Amino acid sequence: MITIENVTKRYDNTTVVHELNLQIRAGEIVGIIGHNGAGKSTTMKMIAGLIEPSEGIVRVMGEDIQKGSAKIKQKIGYLPEESPLYEAMTAQQYLLFFSELYQMPRTKALARIDELLTSLDLHETKKLTGEFSKGMKRKTAIARALLHDPDLLILDEPNSGLDPLTSFFIINYLKTLRREGKTILLSAHNLFHVETICDRVGIIKNGKLLIFDTMEAIRARLGKREYQVIFHSDQKLDYEQVNGNYIFRTADVDAIAGMLETVSASKWTLMDLSMRESALEEIYVKLMTNE
């Protein structure tokens, strides 16, 4: 779906993206994360064909996006981080206006708009978009990006500034789009959402791609796994205590097995056995501070 080959982007003497190589497969959700100014938005704009790389090639669906036909760009839906609406229009009027830019037949456009407003839970269709909450405005902007039924959806901070309920709705909606076969590239500062939804994750620092892989592979390479046994004993023991119980933590599988044998042999009461893996946020902070 997307192939980025040795792409560098400079503005004057500042390199914003440095020798980026990336491949994104059709039908997957890919998250790109990094600090402000890392080059995320610039990368997305180059994939969307809005700006040209200084060096290298961005191919979308097999074509150089800068030289490709208009048909390729019509298969892309792009949502920028800041996406103001025409606030004197209703959501339907706004989307109908954009359908004309896409040269969609009016009957088809109205049916598509109705479908999107329903699926995005935008019921207050008589309200002007200027009266919308931030969540409703973001949903309307997403509807605009989806209006022409693109195969590739590029979303720059789709949940920016939204309340948890609206964010949860949008994340689940993106899962629905993946099931429909859409390819989605997104950036986000909410790393829990990225970890939850993305098939693969790329971490960018100062324009350079530090890692790009599945969460499972990223954890195996950069994360850690910790086991925890919680047990109760009436004896005074030299273990950490929480809420009247003792806790034993270790990353050693053999040590945890030995602890379980000790709990059983001592006739202590096993309360809980769990395993915890590094969250994306922990790995991200490690990369940002150590690289």
CA distance 76 to 48: 7
Closest to 145 (Cα-Cα) out of 83, 85, 90, 79: 79
How many Cα atoms sit within 13 Å of 36 on the Cβ side?
1
Torsional sign, CA 141, 145, 147, 153? negative
Mean pLDDT over 183-210 rounds to 93
The mean pLDDT of 156-175, rounded to a whole number, is 86
Tokens of 221: 């390479």
What is the pLDDT at residue 16? 94
Comparison of pLDDT for 246 and 72, the residue scoring more = 246
Give SS3 for 213.
strand
CB 223 within 8 A of CB 286: no
Taking residues 271-278, report their average pLDDT: 90
126 vs 184, more confident: 184
Mean per-residue pLDDT over the chain, rounded: 91
- pTM score of the predicted model: 0.83
**Phi/psi of residue 231, each to 5°?**
-140, 165
The whole-number pLDDT of residue 166 equals: 84
Q: What is the mean pLDDT of residues 190-203?
A: 92
- What are the pLDDT digits (tens) for 3-45? 999 999 999 889 999 999 999 999 999 999 999 999 999 999 9
Task: Give all domains of the chain, ordered by start, each with its CATH number.
Answer: 2-216 (3.40.50.300), 223-290 (no CATH)
| DSSP code for 256 | H
Main-chain phi, psi angles of 263, to 5 degrees: -60, -45
Cα(236)–Cα(144) distance, rounded to whole angstroms? 64
Q: Using 50, 70 and 90 to split pLDDT, how confident is the model at 290?
A: confident
Assess whether pLDDT exceeds 60 at residue 291.
no
Rounded CA-CA distance 67/229 in Å is: 59
Confidence of residue 83 (pLDDT cuts 50, 70, 90): confident
The answer to whether 291 and 205 have CB atoms below 8 angstroms apart is yes
Mean pLDDT along residues 190-197: 90
* Predicted pLDDT of residue 287: 87
Share of the chain above pLDDT 70, in %: 99
pLDDT of residue 238: 92
Give the pLDDT mean for 149-172: 88
Give me the pLDDT at residue 225, please.
Answer: 85
| Banded model confidence at residue 263, pLDDT cuts 50, 70, 90 | very high
